[in-house]
Amino acid sequence: MRIADRVALVTGASSGIGRAVALRLAGAGARLVLHGRDQQRLADLAERTGGVAVTGDLARPEEASRLAEEATRLCGGVDILVNNAGVGWAGAFAGMAPADIERLVAVNLVAPMRLTRALLPAMCARRDGYVMFVTSIAGRTGVAGEAVYAATKAGLDTFAESLRLETRGSGVGVGVFVPGVVETEFFQHRGRPYERRSPRPLPVDRVADLLVRTVAAGGAERYSPGWLRLPVAVRGAAPGLYRWLAGRFG
């Protein structure tokens, strides 16, 4: 996928992986549409990258359609869509408020579907484009204390795989990026810090570099770090053993 002179829309660009990815896409010559909730951070990033900022909250049902329309109006269309925006919540499911459940499902799962639905037909008509979904290792394995978050990422994973099969031969690529623990503000926002000694959080710049390389290659799937394939493989081949290990070591 050629990145130079292409229009790339990045959601969740205010911070973390989204911001780092936007910087690398800009460095590769992309024209950027940056979406997020933090108006000042987006404005600063837009000034640095030469992109345009669209502030909004993807928890609102109408936001994905509005964003697609605004990106098309401002740039004439979108060639690369990075569905990165996501929210977390940590704690026992029994203590989770219904409003928090709905917000995670809306932002992590429904919004990427709506945004992709709004932009995909034009990509298919041009027979050119690429859609990237940032999921999580939690969606591949399940994580205690993050039941809803893991479920939304698993749903996004399956949606992306199905869409890839559906768009085969259309000229539009569909990719999934599966990160583990990344050094961002995510853990502060989810309500519980990351306290494990291992694995250590990866630098966000390294993760963003790998994601953009995956976009450029038109890749279908990439783990970061690569060894995350191992627990997924164990879970698939020996689910009983995996559950015992997960219960023992977390």
Alpha-carbon gap, residue 200 to 113, rounded angstroms: 31
**Which of 149, 194, 223, 242 is labelled catalytic?**
149
How many CB atoms neighbour CB 107 within 10 A?
22
3-class DSSP assignment, residue 78: coil
pLDDT of residue 184: 76
Residue 2 lies in a domain: no
Residue 207 lies in a domain: yes
Are 133 and 83 within 8 A, CB to CB?
A: yes
130 annotated active-site: no
Cα–Cα nearest to 155, from 139, 134, 178, 138:
139
Enclosing domain of residue 48? 7-249
Number of structural domains (the chain) is 1
pLDDT of residue 249: 72
pLDDT of residue 160: 98
pLDDT of residue 185: 74
- Cα distances (Å, whole numbers) of residue 62 to 75, 108, 240: 20, 15, 43
DSSP notation for 19-34: HHHHHHHHHTT-EEEE
pLDDT of residue 131: 98
How many CB atoms neighbour CB 69 within 10 A?
11
Alpha-carbon gap, residue 36 to 81, rounded angstroms: 14
Residue 242 lies in a domain: yes
Alpha-carbon gap, residue 76 to 137, rounded angstroms: 35
Alpha-carbon gap, residue 95 to 21, rounded angstroms: 34
Residue 85 lies in a domain: yes
Residue 31 lies in a domain: yes
- Cα distances (Å, whole numbers) of residue 113 to 81, 155, 195: 12, 10, 32
CATH of the domain at 75: 3.40.50.720
Degrees to nearest 5, angle at CA 250 with 106 and 146: 15
Residue 1 lies in a domain: no
Alpha-carbon gap, residue 41 to 18, rounded angstroms: 12
> Dihedrals φ, ψ of 170, to 5°?
-90, -15
Residue 18 lies in a domain: yes
pLDDT of residue 166: 97
pLDDT of residue 118: 98
pLDDT of residue 183: 82
Strands 7-10, 31-36: parallel, antiparallel or unpaired by DSSP? Answer: parallel
For each of the chain's 250 residues, which pLDDT tens digit applies?
Answer: 899 999 999 999 999 999 999 999 999 999 999 999 999 999 999 999 999 999 999 999 999 999 999 999 999 999 999 999 999 999 999 999 999 999 999 999 999 999 999 999 999 999 999 999 999 999 999 999 999 999 999 999 999 999 999 999 999 999 999 999 898 777 767 667 666 766 788 899 999 999 999 999 999 999 999 999 999 999 999 999 989 888 877 6
Alpha-carbon gap, residue 206 to 217, rounded angstroms: 17
